[in-house]
Amino acid sequence: MEISPFPFHNSHHPQQDDEDADWALIDHHPFYGGGGFAAPSIMSDGHRDLETDWVFDTGLLLDDDHGSVLPPPNNEADVVSSVQSPLRSNKRPRPSSSSSSPPASALSEAASASNQQQQQQPKRVWVKDRSKDWWEQCDHPDFPEEEFRRHFRMGRATFDLICHDLDPVITKKNTTLRDAIPVRQRVAVCIWRLATGEPLRLVSKRFGLGISTCHKLILEVCSAIRGVLMPKFLAWPGPDRAEAVRSGFESVSGIPNVGGAMYTTHVPIIAPKENSAAYLNRRHTERNGKTCYSVTVQGVVDPWGVFTDVCIGWPGSMTDDMILEKSALHRRATQGLLRDMWVVGNSGYPLTDWVLVPYTHPNLTWAQHAFNQRIEQVGAVAREAFARFKGRWSCLQKRTEIKLQDLPVVLGACCVLHNICEVRNEGMDAELRFEIFDDEIVPESNAIRSMGAAQARDHIAHNLLHHGKPRSSFL
């Protein structure tokens, strides 16, 4: 899997060696150049949270993260006094010539009494009290299963599985000032945000946490999903699994040796301050009548709608064939790792030795028309998978406030969570299904890039028409 292409580095996330699941491989970006890793940072909606809770402790400021410890000061004067008192105590008045110094014993007794008083008096800590009633109600065992599924796009058993696998990575320790946010609440904040696309300010109120805390948790959980769950739930199929994939697609379309169905979708974003033209989505702009900027998600799915490869983050101005050429999937194919296997794409992709696409010229023969009908059935599998993908995770449907450099981590987590829901047969309400638009652009030149592939496609089309099932997909 490939995540691309943002020009920054993070030494805390080393590059993975497995090219089949290269999460953050970035190379030869057409607009930035250089390389780096799509590593997590703090999501932001562009401004500092004005309601961030600050902790006052003898002048020490701590950002609220976990809930209330002691009640707030009675008034502003108490706060100012608690902050300024150490400064005042350090200012010693200049002794006058007429005053006499007190005895040393009196000074010692006064200092001892002051120390005892400070030790007995607890530190003043103020964390804004927020209601967690909504989340505590959802997390209660008696909470209705169907309502829980509507909230988080998955049943409680699947949610528990995710929490169990992420627990060693995202668990935090309690401190003397406050208790750590529980793992279940951390995961719930992330999944709720991805599922609903709700603004961070509303997520903050819903879960009883600060805004800055919420968007920090979301990035931390998404990063943990990448590191822990992606190797388990998103990978190119091995030999045994690949045979099942071929059989599944052949039963759908009659075309043998199909190893995956490929599709590319766009995720709307706010116009970047730099290189905005690179992210301009002209097709969506023309269709909607207003300027649209986007990043892309290219995915290959199996017959059951599970992602087996994704390439995330290329600018929305790039065509499907350009994105394909930049992907790790293309590199594996050119190295001969996808032999005797077709990846089916729509007319936005070129015909190659391993990419099988429909006929696009206007005057089709009967055999070519029949072939297009069969290959359309494979393409429908990919479109339906992306419709469920964007339907489950509403954050993908509208312009996101997530920073551009953080998008690969978040979008990758959505892909993994989609696979978990698909593998565990998590149903989805019909009204959540997202309508996918076919915005592929047919390559104007060199649409057929392999004469051998063209002959193989003609052979498949002939056998589909005359025998109902092709005898071979390769010459």
Q: Rg of the chain over CA atoms, in angstroms?
A: 29
Q: Is the dihedral of CA 49, 51, 52, 57 positive or negative?
A: positive
Is the N-terminal amide bond of 5 cis, ω within 30° of 0? yes
- Contact between 262 and 345 under an 8 Å Cβ cutoff? The reply is yes
Alpha carbon distance 94, 128 (integer Å): 41
Whether the model clears a pTM of 0.85, i.e. scores above it, the answer is no
Alpha carbon distance 166, 363 (integer Å): 55
Alpha carbon distance 188, 135 (integer Å): 8
Identify the pLDDT of residue 466.
79
Q: Domain-by-domain residue ranges, the chain?
A: 2-39+237-467, 133-232
Identify the pLDDT of residue 449.
78
- Contact between 293 and 268 under an 8 Å Cβ cutoff? The reply is yes
Identify the pLDDT of residue 214.
96
Identify the pLDDT of residue 49.
40
Buried b (16+ CB within 10 A) or exposed e, 226-256: bebbbeebbbbbeeeebeebbeebbebbbbb
Task: Give how far the C-alpha of residue 302 lies from the chain's centroid of Cα atoms, to the nearest Å.
Answer: 21
Two tokens at 82?
Answer: 């608690």
> What is the chain's pLDDT, residue by residue, as a tens digit (475 residues)?
555 544 333 434 444 444 343 343 333 333 333 333 333 333 434 433 433 332 323 233 334 444 433 444 444 444 444 444 444 444 455 555 444 555 666 666 666 666 666 555 555 544 555 677 899 999 999 999 999 999 999 999 999 999 999 999 999 999 888 889 999 999 999 999 999 999 999 999 999 999 999 989 999 999 999 999 999 999 999 999 999 999 999 999 999 899 999 999 999 999 999 999 999 998 888 888 889 999 999 999 999 999 999 999 999 999 999 999 999 999 999 999 998 899 999 999 999 999 999 998 888 999 999 999 999 999 999 999 999 999 999 999 988 888 999 999 999 999 999 999 999 999 988 888 888 876 666 665 557 778 889 999 999 999 888 776 554 443 3
Q: Which helix (H) or strand (E) holds 261?
A: strand 258-269
- Contact between 217 and 186 under an 8 Å Cβ cutoff? The reply is yes
Identify the pLDDT of residue 111.
66
Identify the pLDDT of residue 443.
60
Identify the pLDDT of residue 465.
83
